[in-house]
Amino acid sequence: MITDSALGATPEIGPSTAVARAPVGFWLVAAVYALVMLGGTLPVPLYVFWAPQMGFGPFTTTLVFATYALGTVLALVVFASLSDRAGRRPLLASALLAAAASTALFLVARNVETLLAARFMCGLATGVFTATATAALGELAGERHARRASVVSTAANMGGLGLGAIVAGVFAQLGGNPTHLVFWVYLAALLPALVAVAVVPETVAVRHRPVLSVRRPALPGERAGREEFLRGAAAVFAAFAVSGLFSSLVPSFLREQLHVADVAAVGGVVGLLFIVALIAQLAAPARWLSRRWSAPAFLIGGVVVFEIGLWTRSLPLFIAGTLLAGTGIGLAFRRGVEAAQRLADPQHRADLLSTYFLAAYAGTIVPTLALGLLGQVINTDIATLFLAAGVVAVTLAAALGRRTGPTTHPVGRTDRH
């Protein structure tokens, strides 16, 4: 792997003349971040229309979603950390162009292959923007407002994901062309987003020529920081396994097992998970975030309750489980982002954040694909039970991990070996 040290000086990230516009730039980045994440869940309620048109079933639905997650992982491994060298704005603009290309593919999709390509491009855009925007928000906020950066970045992420499913469901229910109208509107919204990125202050003061390479996951250099980071990564892996289930197969569960036919209602239930996660991040008491068992308790409780809802065909129980699980996802995600921002070497902030989000999106790929495969050979209820057991096991392992004491200052270097 080619490292920064092999290519010359590392970038210096710090104040510049443009940072005088940092407050406006901060909120512009946050708004565009939410818009990009919204695009990630726009397709979720629309599989009910594409499936009969293109002739595919639940397994193909999980494959399409896994392709999105694969694009996200590829972006995190190859592209996202380039912003540490090339600057934040070029990567943010490139991600928006990828989102526009993805949207155009959805508009012309007539077969599964085009749908897969559209979801893959959407994943690339999401992966690049997630790591780059989170790093940019931390730098635009400054060390004095690090907590604000963490709260806003996680809110933009979860809020956008929640709104995407809800907006697409409403458009599909009320609009005349359910698989096209929402994408035309989204494509139009990306144009002012490009303008917003163009005026955002650049926070990488010294930039270098970007070099593509497959990067290994970065970790904090000190043992205590490394162990804290890995616990957060394991927790977000489990949390995103649940969100991946909601973004892929829950719409079909709602229609076929819980008899929810209204597309807007389906989008609303899926979006509810992310909206509750957003509210948990913004409104949860500080003691919930500081206690290591708060997020695991909510996540495990939610998985158990919505599993009971699926087995008993009870929509109220399923929704109750969604509320609990969403709270757990929000708490786990915010706690992990705060730790990653705090532990990151400022010169490689996007690098460590990429590793964190890599763990998150790996959590959506492996369990979701496994569930889709299991659903081909065994009862769907039993398949989701296996997924629930896996989520509980990983969550418990992360919570029970040995603690060596808190790390309260940024780690001096990032281990890239």
Cα distance between residue 78 and residue 4, in whole Å: 14
| 380-400 helix and 223-248 helix, angle to the nearest 10 degrees | 160
- Tell me, yes or no, whether 279 lies in a domain: yes
Residues 6+ apart with CB under 8 A from 154: 278, 281, 330, 333, 334, 337
Name the range with the highest mean pLDDT among 118-127, 136-145, 217-226, 227-236. Answer: 118-127
Residue-wise burial string across 402-411, b where 16 or more C-beta atoms lie within 10 A, e elsewhere: eeeeebeebb
Binning pLDDT at 50, 70 and 90, where does residue 416 land?
A: very low
Residue linked to tokens 């399923």: 318
- Tell me, yes or no, whether 154 lies in a domain: yes
Binning pLDDT at 50, 70 and 90, where does residue 140 land?
A: confident
Residue by residue, DSSP assigns 96-129 as HHHHHHHHHHHHH--SHHHHHHHHHHHHHHHHHH
Angle at 255 between CA 254 and CA 260, to 5 degrees: 75
Angle at 77 between CA 74 and CA 82, to 5 degrees: 110
* DSSP summary character for residue 176: S
SS3 state of residue 219: strand
Cα distance between residue 139 and residue 125, in whole Å: 21
- Tell me, yes or no, whether 210 lies in a domain: no
- Tell me, yes or no, whether 213 lies in a domain: no
Provide the pLDDT for residue 121. 96
Cα distance between residue 216 and residue 219, in whole Å: 9
Q: Is 87 left (phi over 0), alpha (psi -120 to 50) or beta?
A: left
pLDDT tens for residues 50-105? Answer: 999 999 888 888 889 889 988 988 888 887 667 777 788 899 999 999 999 999 99
Domain residues for 182?
17-202+223-409
Provide the pLDDT for residue 20. 46
Mean pLDDT for the stretch of residues 274-288: 85
- Provide the domain count of the chain: 1
Binning pLDDT at 50, 70 and 90, where does residue 258 land?
A: confident
- Tell me, yes or no, whether 303 lies in a domain: yes
Provide the pLDDT for residue 155. 86
Q: Look at 161-170, 298-307, 334-343 and tell me which has the smallest mean pLDDT.
A: 334-343
Helix (H) or strand (E) holding 141: helix 112-141
Cα distance between residue 180 and residue 107, in whole Å: 6
CATH number at residue 297: 1.20.1250.20
Whether residue 12 has pLDDT greater than 50: no
Provide the pLDDT for residue 244. 83
- Tell me, yes or no, whether 415 lies in a domain: no
Provide the pLDDT for residue 208. 59
Q: Look at 177-191, 205-219, 281-295 and tell me which has the smallest mean pLDDT.
A: 205-219
Provide the pLDDT for residue 4. 36
pLDDT tens for residues 232-243? Answer: 888 999 998 898
Mean pLDDT for the stretch of residues 40-54: 91
411, amino acid identity: V
Cα distance between residue 267 and residue 265, in whole Å: 5
Provide the pLDDT for residue 214. 66
pLDDT tens for residues 285-332? Answer: 877 877 778 889 999 999 999 999 989 999 999 999 999 999 999 899
Angle at 46 between CA 159 and CA 28, to 5 degrees: 30
- Tell me, yes or no, whether 122 lies in a domain: yes
Binning pLDDT at 50, 70 and 90, where does residue 206 land?
A: low
Q: Look at 35-39, 378-382, 394-398, 411-415 and tell me which has the smallest mean pLDDT.
A: 411-415
- Tell me, yes or no, whether 3 lies in a domain: no
